[in-house]
């Protein structure tokens, strides 16, 4: 699932491509919205909230928000009118066309249209957004420490605590902090520093097309432990370990160095 910085860049791309323009074509290819026609409406902006995308639209019928989520395989792409799409047509879930650009959402995990005043019903549960204008470190820490017995990796992944961290950043943050992903939040030596590191990582990566946590942008050198199982730890040479962890039905792979991140 894309990380918060990936979604932030998608929002910025959509905002630059179609905001301030009148929709000349709308095709919402999900059953509940199949007959919806927003032609003539003006796109006002697209913003990210954690891993959610909110495209706001002014229509004669009111102010609407197109809420989309990339989930595992989704992506938004922008084209010139008539340009051939780079992904199969059957994967398109949303098409928003203007006189100058065509924005296409492929394999989107969520597509909803709701009144802008009701956005809280889809993103109101989220914790402080690491890349949001109203980022609140103290509130994020309050939420994280409300369950001190919870494994730190699970707590970081819970979007109700702070929004924007996915599996890759959770693994990399635990490594950089030198804590095992299963260590309880209450036993993390310097939790505020870990949270500040998270913000710094996402802030840096939101400005470039590739994600890196090591400072090395070469394709095979960008990450410390994520998806590097059985390969040598970059710090100590010990093989990186991997295990499926998390709540039942929501298990994801955890990566760590057993020497640098002891239990």
The answer to whether the beta carbons of residues 67 and 87 sit under 8 Å apart is no
Mean pLDDT across 155-161: 98
| Residue among 121, 89, 105, 126 at smallest CA distance from 33 | 105
**Cα–Cα distance measured from residue 183 to residue 53, given in angstroms and rounded to the nearest whole number:** 32
The pLDDT, as a whole number, for residue 251 is 83
Kindly state whether residue 45 falls inside one of the protein's structural domains.
yes
My answer on whether 142 and 209 are in the same domain is: yes
**Cα–Cα distance measured from residue 261 to residue 99, given in angstroms and rounded to the nearest whole number:** 54
The residues near 81 (Cβ < 8 Å, ≥ 6 apart) are 97, 99, 100, 101, 102
Q: Is 196 helix (H, G, I), strand (E, B) or coil?
A: helix
Kindly state whether residue 128 falls inside one of the protein's structural domains.
no
Kindly state whether residue 263 falls inside one of the protein's structural domains.
no
How many CB atoms are closer than 10 A to CB 122? 17
**Cα–Cα distance measured from residue 141 to residue 191, given in angstroms and rounded to the nearest whole number:** 8
Mean residue pLDDT across the chain: 96
**Cα–Cα distance measured from residue 85 to residue 222, given in angstroms and rounded to the nearest whole number:** 30
Q: Which of 71, 101, 123 is the last residue of a domain?
A: 123
My answer on whether 60 and 97 are in the same domain is: yes
Per-residue CA distances from 209 to 74, 78, 233 (Å): 17, 16, 25
Q: Which of 101, 123, 145 is the last residue of a domain?
A: 123
My answer on whether 62 and 150 are in the same domain is: no
The pairing of beta strand 42-49 with beta strand 52-59: antiparallel
Residues designated catalytic: 2-3, 51, 252
Each residue's pLDDT tens digit, 50-77: 999 999 999 999 999 999 999 999 999 9
- CATH number of the CATH domain containing 252: 1.10.8.50
Kindly state whether residue 131 falls inside one of the protein's structural domains.
no
Each residue's pLDDT tens digit, 134-150: 999 999 999 999 999 99
The pLDDT, as a whole number, for residue 16 is 98
- Whether the predicted pLDDT of 218 surpasses 80: yes
The pLDDT, as a whole number, for residue 250 is 76
Quote the longest CA-to-CA distance of the chain. Answer: 62
**Cα–Cα distance measured from residue 35 to residue 138, given in angstroms and rounded to the nearest whole number:** 45
How many CB atoms are closer than 10 A to CB 161? 25
My answer on whether 86 and 43 are in the same domain is: yes
My answer on whether 42 and 16 are in the same domain is: yes
My answer on whether 221 and 252 are in the same domain is: yes
| Residue among 160, 245, 224, 161 at smallest CA distance from 195 | 161
Each residue's pLDDT tens digit, 91-104: 999 999 999 999 99
Helix, strand, coil share of the chain (percent; to 5): 25, 25, 45
Each residue's pLDDT tens digit, 243-259: 998 777 778 999 999 99
- CATH number of the CATH domain containing 91: 3.20.190.10
Q: Which of 96, 123, 150 is the last residue of a domain?
A: 123
My answer on whether 118 and 152 are in the same domain is: no
**Cα–Cα distance measured from residue 136 to residue 129, given in angstroms and rounded to the nearest whole number:** 8
Number of structural domains the chain divides into: 2
Kindly state whether residue 227 falls inside one of the protein's structural domains.
yes
Mean pLDDT across 180-205: 98
Kindly state whether residue 168 falls inside one of the protein's structural domains.
yes
Q: Could you list the residue range(s) of the whole structural domain that residue 163 is in? A: 137-256
Across the beta sheet with 42-49, the strand order is: 42-49, 52-59, 62-69, 110-115
The residues near 70 (Cβ < 8 Å, ≥ 6 apart) are 1, 2, 6, 7, 10, 51, 53, 76, 108, 109
**Cα–Cα distance measured from residue 216 to residue 214, given in angstroms and rounded to the nearest whole number:** 5
Each residue's pLDDT tens digit, 219-231: 999 999 999 999 9
């Amino acid at each position: 699932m894309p990380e918060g910085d990936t979604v932030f860049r998608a929002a910025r791309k959509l905002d630059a491509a179609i905001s301030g323009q009148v929709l000349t074509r709308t095709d919402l290819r999900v059953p509940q919205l199949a007959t919806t026609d927003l032609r003539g409406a003006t796109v006002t902006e697209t913003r990210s909230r954690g891993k959610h995308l909110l495209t706001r639209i002014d229509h004669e019928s009111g102010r609407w928000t197109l809420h989309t989520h990339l989930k595992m395989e989704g992506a938004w792409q922008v084209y010139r009118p008539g340009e051939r799409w780079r992904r199969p047509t059957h994967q398109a879930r949303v098409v928003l066309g203007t006189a100058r650009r065509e924005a296409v959402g492929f394999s989107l995990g969520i597509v909803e249209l709701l009144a802008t005043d009701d956005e809280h019903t889809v993103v109101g549960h989220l914790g402080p957004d690491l890349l949001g204008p109203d980022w609140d470190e103290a509130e994020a820490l309050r939420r994280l420490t409300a369950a001190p017995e919870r494994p730190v990796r699970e707590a970081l992944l819970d979007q109700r605590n702070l929004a924007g961290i996915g599996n890759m950043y959770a693994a990399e943050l635990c490594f950089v902090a030198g804590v095992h992903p299963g260590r309880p939040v209450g036993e993390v030596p310097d939790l505020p520093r870990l949270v500040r590191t998270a913000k710094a990582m996402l802030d840096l990566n939101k400005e470039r097309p590739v994600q890196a946590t090591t400072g090395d942008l070469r394709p095979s050198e960008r990450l410390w432990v994520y998806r590097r199982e059985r390969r040598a730890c970059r710090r100590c040479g010990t093989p990186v370990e991997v295990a499926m962890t998390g709540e039942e039905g929501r298990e994801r792979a955890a990566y760590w160095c057993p020497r640098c991140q002891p239990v």
